[in-house]
């Protein structure tokens, strides 16, 4: 498994909140557990206390994306480095549960999960994954959806670094809104042109 795959942990956590809409899906221990996906062993260790801790980490991860989006690469890196220092990881070689086509262990790097609490474990994996993605693909590959008011985080993996939205749904919505705005502008411009072309009539006394 490529280590930058763990960057999905960061995106998953950041997108539990929609600040512009005032929505927050991270309100229970069940919501925390859902973030772990298939890693049910770690998820079972989550407690109510992790809800608040996860929210704190979420805000710091969003700040990394905001720094990247604003073009402040140094800020984004500094914020991510602070997370890496606070939540260190323990990389291990794994392969006992997967086999290649010849039946041999499919050795790969794995981030071990044995921190002091569930939040620390998740934060360590998310920060390290995001760090690998950033250093492998560039800071500008960390984005926030431009389809207001969405602002979900995403990782740009396009070949020409052209991604601007978190999903096809948001891209379609933004394109439709832009099309309608152009049509309104054209209609207003046509209306002004028509008014200007009308001959003026002066009132005359009888």
Q: Which two tokens stand for residue 7?
A: 């960057």
Residue 97: predicted pLDDT:
66
In angstroms, the CA 137 to CA 110 distance is 20
pLDDT, tens digit (0-9, with 9 covering 90-100), for 3-38: 678 899 999 999 999 999 999 999 999 999 999 987
Structure pTM?
Answer: 0.80
Q: Which two tokens stand for residue 26?
A: 């991270």
CA dist list (Å): 125 to 11, 59, 178, 203: 12, 16, 38, 79
- Beta strand 23-24 with 108-112 is unpaired
């Amino acid at each position: 498994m490529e280590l930058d795959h763990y960057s999905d942990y960061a995106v998953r956590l950041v997108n539990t909140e929609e600040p512009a809409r005032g929505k927050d899906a991270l309100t229970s221990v069940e919501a925390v557990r859902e973030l772990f996906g298939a890693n049910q062993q770690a998820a079972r260790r989550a407690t109510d206390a992790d809800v608040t801790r996860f929210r704190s980490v979420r805000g710091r991860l969003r700040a990394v994306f905001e720094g990247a989006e604003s073009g402040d690469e140094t800020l984004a890196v500094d914020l991510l480095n602070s997370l890496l220092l606070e939540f260190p990881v323990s990389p291990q070689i794994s392969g006992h549960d997967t086999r290649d086509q010849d039946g041999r262990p499919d050795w790969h790097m794995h981030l071990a999960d044995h921190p002091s609490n569930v939040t620390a474990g998740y934060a360590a994996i998310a920060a390290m994954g995001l760090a690998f993605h950033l250093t492998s693909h560039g800071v500008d590959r960390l984005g926030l959806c431009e389809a207001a008011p969405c602002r979900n985080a995403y990782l740009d993996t396009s070949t020409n670094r052209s991604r601007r939205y978190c999903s096809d749904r948001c891209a379609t919505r933004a394109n439709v809104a832009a099309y309608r705005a152009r049509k309104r502008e054209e209609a207003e411009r046509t209306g002004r042109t028509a008014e200007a072309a009308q001959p003026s009539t002066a009132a005359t006394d009888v």
